[in-house]
Amino acid sequence: DVKVTQSSRYLVKRTGEKVFLECVQDMDHENMFWYRQDPGLGLRLIYFSYDVKMKEKGDIPEGYSVSREKKERFSLILESASTNQTSMYLCASSLSRDTSNQPQHFGDGTRLSIL
Amino acid sequence: QQQVKQSPQSLIVQKGGISIINCAYENTAFDYFPWYQQFPGKGPALLIAIRPDVSEKKEGRFTISFNKSAKQFSLHIMDSQPGDSATYFCAAINRRDDKIIFGKGTRLHILP
């Protein structure tokens, strides 16, 4: 079974802090994704990566950056946290772009509160 | 054109009844349509998926019906059980970039 692990289930930070959310997958997947989930808005894609050192902007990248130094690890960075970034953050991975019809596998999320 | 529209937003069904959730899309480049199930405190988990060259796919009590000409697809849960109470997301994937476009979700509650 694919395991996507997010380092924190709950996190509380203050406005202006730099925040790191970590995600690790154990199935040698090439693709990794970061979403935020808000009531009534569903899942919105922040950033994604198809390979190490690669990153692509999703639908709502403003205020975020990412890092993928190793294939199994994909980090989401809030450069200067703001209260409107309070949300549930979900990491996902999938096999590769060369393999069609592959679903994404999700971690259990990090509930981030910015005070 | 990238949207996937999902309805209803919430649904209450009696135990043993049929739960039906509908989705519609515009982009004909979508070629894979998964459904995800999410329980509170958990990430979404793949439930069932269909390709557009098939009109129906059934796995146990869960069935996807797909209407390519209407660009609509739906999830049917037969003999709905309280354990099916969860949020369900339909989604569509474009093979060119592997990005998933999610519907906004349906919160399903099955009455015991």
Q: What are phi and psi of B82, to 5 degrees?
A: -55, -30
pLDDT in tens, B23-43: 999 988 888 899 999 999 899
B104 close to B6: Cβ distance less than 8 angstroms: yes
The predicted structure's pLDDT at residue A110:
96
Spatial CB neighbours of B40, under 8 Å, sequence gap ≥ 6 = none
pLDDT confidence bin for B11, thresholds 50/70/90: very high
Q: What is the pLDDT of residue B18?
A: 98
Give phi and psi for A29, each to the nearest 5. -75, 145
Cβ within 8 Å, pair B93-A42: no
Contact yes or no for B2/B99 (Cβ under 8 A)? no
**Average pLDDT in chain A:** 92
- Give the pLDDT confidence score for residue A112 in this predicted structure: 97
Taking the Cβ of residue B43 and every Cβ of chain A, the question of whether any pair is shorter than 8 Å is answered with yes
Residues 6+ apart with CB under 8 A from A18: A77, A78, A79, A80, A81
Residue range B85-97: average pLDDT?
Answer: 88
Q: Which two tokens stand for residue B110?
A: 């099955």
Q: What CA–CA distance (Å, rounded) separates A36 from B93? A: 18
**Cβ contact, residue pair B105, A42, below 8 Å:** yes
Compute the nearest-CA separation of B32 from chain A (Å): 6
- B3 contact residues in A (CB cutoff 8 A): none
C-beta pairs of A68-74 under 8 Å, 24+ apart in sequence: A68/A32, A71/A28, A71/A29, A71/A30, A72/A24, A72/A25, A72/A26, A72/A28, A73/A22, A73/A23, A73/A24, A74/A23, A74/A25, A74/A32, A74/A33, A74/A34, A74/A49
According to CATH, the superfamily of the domain at B4-111 is Immunoglobulins (2.60.40.10)
Query: Given an 8 Å threshold on Cβ–Cβ distance, is B41 in contact with A108?
Result: yes
Residue A97's pLDDT is what? 67
**Could you give all domains of chain A from N- to C-terminal order, each with its CATH number?**
15-98 (2.60.40.10)
Q: What is the pLDDT of residues A60-77, one digit of tens each?
A: 999 999 999 999 999 999
Residue ranges per domain, chain B? 4-111
pLDDT at B2 over 70: no
Q: Which residue has the tokens 């596998």?
A: A105
Share of chain B above pLDDT 70, in %: 97
